Amino acid sequence: MAETPDLTALVAPLAEALGFDLVRVKLFGGKGDLTLQVMAERPATRQLTIDDCAALSRSISDRLDALEAEGRDPISEEYRLEVSSPGIDRPLTRLKDFADWDGHEARIVLSSPIDGRKVLTGLLKGVEGDIITIYVATKGEMEVPFSQIGTAKLVLTNALIAATRPLSMDGVEEEETEEELVPEGTEDEGQI
């Protein structure tokens, strides 16, 4: 199962009411193992705290329970609700995601091939209108209509880790160096 427009329309105002941007709503799995995955973020930090996830989860659960009580349950089977931040190697689901992560590596799976390719991996080079430009090493710059993207996500690279380090290091002073983050006694063995 893929992204579900009715569920997205249901969840979006709940996320917005809490000050979050909705990144993705996806229903997947099969009978007995159905998961409703909701990814959201605070606009300023691109992350959610555990308390944020809990608040959004409660809000979604309350709304879905109310709809069920009215006989209008949008998910008729049992399911598990999973609420999270999108993470470092996040999915790119909105046009603005491609602009926000310009200069970073992404993997795009197309709904139909462009120049004989259905999967493009390369550096995001900008967005103009609804056209995304990606630099693919073997092809050069390629233009991809947003409507032709099936799925897309950032590729975990050192540059991406460096760009998100202050966001992903909750509770760690930004001034600390990598050496200070390595547990004592492991420097010589090359282990972390």
Which tokens go with 192? 């972390």
The residue written with tokens 């609804």 in the block is 130
The pLDDT of residue 109? 98
Residue pair 108/114 in contact by the 8 Å Cβ criterion: no
Largest CA-CA distance found in the chain, in angstroms, rounded: 63
R_g over Cα of the chain? 20
The pLDDT of residue 5? 56
Q: Where are the beta strands (DSSP E) in the chain?
A: 21-28, 35-41, 80-84, 105-114, 117-128, 131-136, 140-145, 149-154
Cα atoms in the Cβ-side hemisphere of radius 13 Å centred on 146: 14
Q: pLDDT tens digits for 60-109?
A: 999 999 999 999 989 988 999 999 999 888 999 999 999 999 999 999 99
What average pLDDT does the structure give for the chain?
Answer: 86
pLDDT tens, residue order, the chain (192 aa): 345 558 999 999 999 999 999 999 999 998 889 999 999 999 988 889 999 999 999 999 999 999 999 999 899 889 999 999 998 889 999 999 999 999 999 999 999 999 999 999 999 999 999 999 999 999 999 999 999 999 999 999 999 988 876 554 444 444 443 444 434 444 444 443
First to last CA, the chain: 38
The pLDDT of residue 30? 84
pTM, two decimal places: 0.76
List the domains of the chain with CATH numbers. 5-84 (3.30.300.70), 95-154 (2.30.30.180)
Which tokens go with 56? 């959004």
5 CA to centre of own chain: 17
β-pairing, 149-154 vs 131-136, is: unpaired
The pLDDT of residue 176? 40
